[in-house]
């Protein structure tokens, strides 16, 4: 297993399990728990959920059933747009903990920037951090301007920025800015968005002929090549899969390494093609989405 040390000294596994829409959107039943248990059996210890995903309870059940010591797991959740603000954020965190049946989280993120609420949201999160209810604080989908806003008042620095990042959308200036400031990069939809985004498979980087050629050279799958491209550039990846085969191949990446020219070939695929939400515009849609009880 690969690890990255965050700027507060906490270690995070570089490969995690993304949990948006396992089964279907906001599904929270035995199927979701079984998928998580499969991932745990293969070796996953890092699980990335959110209040909006509606499956925190299923993850909590899997943690309990697995028998894996809590200290060996890395659990992330996130505060949604409609939960931002001082007391609202504090209460949203408490609800997440209750659904997960945990005493603390390893990482808590602001899922999308809402600049009007960022200060009171972050300060509420700092309070949770100081109470040792969470081991690290971070952000998701934050632009450079959003990070600068936090830097202007924060007592606790963000350890991570979780962003859409894949070979068609590398966001290199933002990545460089974050890494310069010792903010780790975590990649959601590293293979090019899940079914929830309704992006045709043919338009995803996992189907790109350049990726296929590199995969064939290394006797690897296209997904493994994209994940390794991130791992070797010190980024965190949280692919989502439901089949035992894909859960396994996404995790088992130690048999090969990409050359510098392989990495450059993949970097060159960037065409600034965003497949998910744009932080400049997505808030209007986000506030119509309900966090389930």
Long-range contacts of 267-274 (CB under 8 A, 24+ apart): 267/167, 267/170, 267/172, 269/167, 269/168, 269/205, 269/208, 269/210, 269/211, 270/167, 270/168, 270/169, 270/170, 270/172, 271/168, 271/169, 272/168, 272/169, 273/168, 273/169, 274/164, 274/169
Q: How does DSSP assign 27-38, residue by residue?
A: --SHHHHHHHHH
Pairing type for strands 107-110 and 74-79 reads parallel
**Cα separations (Å) of 35 from 40, 98, 103?**
9, 21, 23
Q: Which helix (H) or strand (E) holds 12?
A: strand 11-13
Calpha distance 112→78 (Å, rounded): 9
Burial of 231: CB neighbours in 10 Å, binned 0-12, 13-18, 19+ = buried
Q: How many CB atoms lie within 10 A of CB 253?
A: 22
Half-sphere exposure of 42 (CA within 13 A, CB side): 24
Pairing type for strands 17-18 and 137-140 reads unpaired
Three-class SS state of 103: coil
| Beta carbons of 127 and 97 less than 8 angstroms apart | no
Annotated catalytic residues are 53
């Amino acid at each position: 297993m690969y690890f990255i040390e965050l700027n507060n000294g906490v270690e995070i596994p570089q490969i995690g399990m993304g949990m948006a829409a396992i089964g279907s959107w906001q599904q929270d039943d035995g199927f979701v728990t079984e998928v998580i248990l499969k991932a745990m059996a293969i070796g996953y210890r890092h699980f990335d959920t959110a209040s909006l995903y509606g499956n925190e309870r299923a993850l909590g059940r899997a943690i309990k059933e697995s028998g894996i010591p809590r200290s060996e797991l890395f659990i992330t959740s996130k505060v949604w747009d409609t939960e931002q603000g001082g007391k609202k954020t504090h209460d949203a965190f408490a609800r997440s903990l209750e659904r997960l049946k945990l005493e603390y989280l390893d990482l808590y993120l602001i899922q999308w920037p809402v600049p009007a609420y960022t200060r009171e949201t972050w300060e509420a999160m700092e309070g949770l951090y100081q109470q040792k209810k969470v081991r690290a604080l971070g952000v998701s989908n934050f632009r450079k301007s959003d990070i600068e806003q936090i830097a202007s008042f924060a007592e606790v620095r963000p350890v991570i920025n979780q962003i859409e990042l894949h070979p068609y959308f590398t966001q290199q200036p933002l990545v460089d800015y974050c890494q310069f400031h010792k903010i780790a990069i975590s990649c959601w939809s590293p293979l090019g968005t899940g079914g929830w985004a309704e992006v045709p498979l043919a338009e995803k980087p996992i189907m790109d002929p350049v990726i296929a050629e590199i995969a064939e050279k290394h006797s690897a799958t296209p997904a493994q090549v994209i994940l390794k491209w991130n791992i070797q550039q010190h980024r965190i990846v949280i692919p989502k899969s439901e089949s035992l085969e894909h859960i396994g191949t996404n995790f088992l990446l130690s048999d090969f390494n990409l050359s510098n020219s392989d990495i450059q070939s993949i970097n060159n695929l960037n065409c600034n093609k965003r497949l998910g939400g744009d932080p400049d515009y997505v808030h209007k849609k986000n506030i119509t989405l309900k966090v389930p009880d």
